Amino acid sequence: MIRYGCLVMYVVFMFMKNIQEYINLKELDPRLSFQKQMKRVYEQPKAFMRGCIDLSGSVISIHHDRPIPDGPVLYVHPRLGVGDLVLLAGHLEDPAGFIAGKKAFRMPFLGNWLRLMGVICDGESRDVRQEAEVSLQKGQSLILSEDGKINPEELALRFDLPIVPVSTTGTDRLLRGRFLKRLKPADIELHVKPAYYPAVQKRLRA
């Protein structure tokens, strides 16, 4: 309960602290490449998400043996929960967009940050897919769930992109309690597996 209270205070403090940072980021030099702009935009959100997990006192082990291909990639998780998303978005080396619920976009200040980050608002499948395609065309990597509204294999085939399978353990034990939330320490593991190209596999099977 104490850790959860600290988490709430941390969230409020970080939001207040980064109001000026948000204003500055809205006026980034347009001559910067999209990738450089996103690296700048994601600096504070990534630090914030890492801090949320650090407050729990959890130990994080990251298993990542091979380099990620250059350019946009699709990070695909079997069943993406909030804890998994916070872990991935905070600890993946390069910025990666994701899909967030409509309620998150309605929250003061948070919604503004999400739009600045190029996060996709959940909604009709066709609309979500269109937004995902726009992000990929700009060069933005995405974090997707196998059971989500977007089929990662189809998207990878359409844009000839690599899929990087990712899996997590322990994130489901971070937040306990149905009515009185408690933030608990957990042994968390993040596995980033070798990338593969569905388009290449399809050509080999032909």
Neighbouring CB atoms inside 10 A of 202's CB total: 12
Report the Cα–Cα distance between both ends of the chain, in Å, rounded: 57
Higher per-residue pLDDT: 202 or 106: 106
All residues at 6 or more sequence positions from 124 whose CB lies less than 8 Å from its CB, including other chains:
none
Nearest to 78 by CA among 195, 191, 173: 191
- Order across the sheet with 74-77: list the strands: 59-64, 187-192, 163-169, 74-77, 141-145, 96-97
Distances in whole angstroms, Cα of residue 26 to Cα of each of 107, 118, 159: 18, 12, 29
Distance (Å, whole) CA 164 – CA 30 = 30
What is the average per-residue pLDDT within 123-147? 95
| Amino acid in the structure at residue 86 | V
Residue 36 has pLDDT above 80, yes or no: yes
Compare 108 and 188 and report the one with higher pLDDT: 188
pLDDT of res. 5: 47
Q: How far is CA 30 from CA 33, 37, 112, 176, in A?
A: 8, 8, 19, 44
Residue type, 129: R
